[in-house]
Amino acid sequence: MTTKERILQGAHDVFQRNGFSGATMQAIAEKSGVNKALLHYHFGTKTELFHAILQQSFSQLLPAVFMALNSEMPLRDKLRNVVELYLGTIIKNPELPLFVISELQRNPSFIKKQINLRSFPPRFVQQVNDASARREIIHAEPADIMADLMGLCILPFVARPILQHLSGKSNAQYKEFLQHRVQHVCDVLVGGLFQVQR
Amino acid sequence: MTTKERILQGAHDVFQRNGFSGATMQAIAEKSGVNKALLHYHFGTKTELFHAILQQSFSQLLPAVFMALNSEMPLRDKLRNVVELYLGTIIKNPELPLFVISELQRNPSFIKKQINLRSFPPRFVQQVNDASARREIIHAEPADIMADLMGLCILPFVARPILQHLSGKSNAQYKEFLQHRVQHVCDVLVGGLFQVQR
DNA sequence: GACAGAATTGACTAAATGGTTAAACCATTT
DNA sequence: AAATGGTTTAACCATTTAGTCAATTCTGTC
């Protein structure tokens, strides 16, 4: 593992836990086991180092989902597929969503400058609009379904402290809860969109 | 408006926009139009002032929802009711959810010490468990439905920058999108939980 | 109007923080 | 083994920041 990678790893940990303002170069240096000046030698400024981390974090979170959303699969299966993929990613890195969301909220310009996703995947948009027009799903637009999907997936992670407290679950129980969530989210999402006529 | 209230107002704005670490006492003083030393005179330390704001913010967000969840209403109507109430609150204060969620994540101990909600409202728990046992809704526990509800509601606010960017909406269009969301969330949530047998 | 206590301020301090720099270190080439 | 160029470090600097304090102003009471 090269020094640069060790620093990126340390920066990732510290930024993710504390956010941009809460993180200090000293803390990152210690976490990485190198001298503070080395951070500047390799990455210039705190902001540049942070942007490297934010970029990397973001690209862990959405691009794979977008690829899946752009596949040929029928909408119903696609949604199940994406939920599994998305939740799988998040379970492996539970602090990722809140980090990305918080920091993008405070660096909105970063989105336009650094993120190369320009719009929802065209095939997904097509499918949703078609299905909505044909009444196969309830009236909805792509942004709705994207919001549903993301919201249902990330909430138990971003709001874990409060949700775990209120449900009185132990850590182990909460982990189990998260496992079951995959199925639950699929059921609610697919079942809520593809409603039978009553 | 008393000085103490002016300070609380300024602190609310600054903390909400920048988080605990990103906020400075100087910025709060300027926003409130008072001398920095006055903040310490009235509130002691930055941490204490912050806790006052976090407490107040949190209590804007959940207690009303919990009261509604504890009413006598049948579950189906109750869910619609709570979604309207919750989304109504958030639309009036769109930065509240992300602020509370981020800061609780970094102050988990705050929940046990300062927040007097100890568990989900008993009537809600009862209803969910009954309905789940009787197969009126899909298999789910209260924490699931709470997570669904919160996730569906808050996502378009906490992830607004990215979602608005990807959907290519103007500010006005996004506002309209948020308006329609109330109906959409109700449909997905109620429709997804109360599924007919197929 | 004098007094007392609370409210408010400007000037200050000590610690922390992002960033710089000159020197030391190390591997590779000649 | 000397030279070279990239890497790493300790010491340092300027600025920012939370917090303090003595002095001043304000407000109500006698």
Contact check, Cβ <8 Å, A18/B22: no
Contact check, Cβ <8 Å, B111/A162: yes
Contact list, A152 vs chain B (CB under 8 Å): 147-148, 151-152
Q: What share of chain B is helix, strand, coil (3-state, %, to 5)?
A: 80, 0, 20
Shortest distance, CA A156 to any CA of chain B (angstroms): 6
Give every residue of chain A whose pLDDT is below 50, as ranges.
Answer: 198
Contact check, Cβ <8 Å, B188/A18: no
Could you tell me which of B169, B187, B166, B189 has the C-alpha nearest to residue B178? Answer: B169
Q: Round to whole Å and give the CA distance between A65 and A86.
A: 6
Give me the torsion for CA of B104, A53, A83, A68, rounded to 10°: 160
Shortest distance, CA A187 to any CA of chain B (angstroms): 7
> Burial of A126 by CB count in 10 Å (0-12 exposed, 13-18 middle, 19+ buried)?
middle
Instruction: State the pLDDT at residue A133.
Output: 96
Q: Round to whole Å and give the CA distance between B33 and B40.
A: 14
Instruction: State the pLDDT at residue B198.
Output: 45
The 8-class DSSP code of residue B197 comes to P
Q: Round to whole Å and give the CA distance between B157 and B79.
A: 20
| Distance in Å, residue B15 CA to nucleotide C14 C1' | 25
> Burial of A134 by CB count in 10 Å (0-12 exposed, 13-18 middle, 19+ buried)?
exposed
Contact at 8 Å (CB) between B14 and B28? yes
Contact check, Cβ <8 Å, B195/A189: no
Phi-psi map region of B44: left, alpha, beta (phi>0 left; psi -120 to 50 alpha): left
Instruction: State the pLDDT at residue A128.
Output: 98
In chain A the beta strands, taken as DSSP E runs, fall at none
Shortest distance, CA B35 to any CA of chain A (angstroms): 24
Q: What share of chain A is helix, strand, coil (3-state, %, to 5)?
A: 80, 0, 20
DSSP string, A1-12: --HHHHHHHHHH
Contact check, Cβ <8 Å, B163/A147: yes
Instruction: State the pLDDT at residue B195.
Output: 79
Mutate to test the interface with B, among A17, A66, A80, A101 (most CBs of B within 10 A): A101
Q: Round to whole Å and give the CA distance between A60 and A78.
A: 19
The 8-class DSSP code of residue A183 comes to H
Contact at 8 Å (CB) between A54 and A100? yes
User: Radius of gyration (Cα) for chain B, nearest Å?
Assistant: 20
Nucleotide at minimal C1' distance from the B40 CA: D19
- Report the length, in residues, of chain B: 198
| 3-state SS, one letter per residue, for B171-193 | HHHHHHHHHHHHHHHHHHHHHHH
Nucleotide at minimal C1' distance from the B37 CA: C9
Helices (DSSP H) in B44-121: which residue ranges?
Answer: 46-61, 63-69, 75-92, 96-106, 108-114
Enumerate residues near strand D (beta carbon within 7 A): A 3, 34-38, 41-42; B 23-26, 36-37, 40, 45-47
Could you tell me which of B93, B28, B26, B155 has the C-alpha nearest to residue A149? Answer: B155
| Distance in Å, residue A195 CA to nucleotide C30 C1' | 78
Of B17, B147, B155, the CB nearest to A147: B155
Contact check, Cβ <8 Å, A191/B138: yes
φ, ψ of residue B141 to 5 degrees: the values are -115, 165
Instruction: State the pLDDT at residue A198.
Output: 46
Q: Which residue of A has its CA nearest to B101?
A: A159
Contact check, Cβ <8 Å, A138/B104: no
Phi-psi map region of B73: left, alpha, beta (phi>0 left; psi -120 to 50 alpha): beta
Q: What is the pLDDT along chain B (198 residues), one digit of tens a residue?
A: 999 999 999 999 999 999 999 999 999 999 999 999 999 999 999 999 999 999 999 999 999 999 999 999 999 999 999 999 999 999 999 999 999 999 999 999 999 998 989 999 999 999 999 999 999 999 999 999 999 999 999 999 999 999 999 999 999 999 999 999 999 999 999 999 997 654
Nucleotides of D under 7 A from a protein CB: 7-11, 16-22
Nucleotides of C under 7 A from a protein CB: 7-11, 16-22
User: Radius of gyration (Cα) for chain A, nearest Å?
Assistant: 20
Domains and their CATH numbers in chain B = 3-56 (1.10.10.60), 62-193 (1.10.357)
Q: Round to whole Å and give the CA distance between A68 and B122.
A: 40
Instruction: State the pLDDT at residue A195.
Output: 79
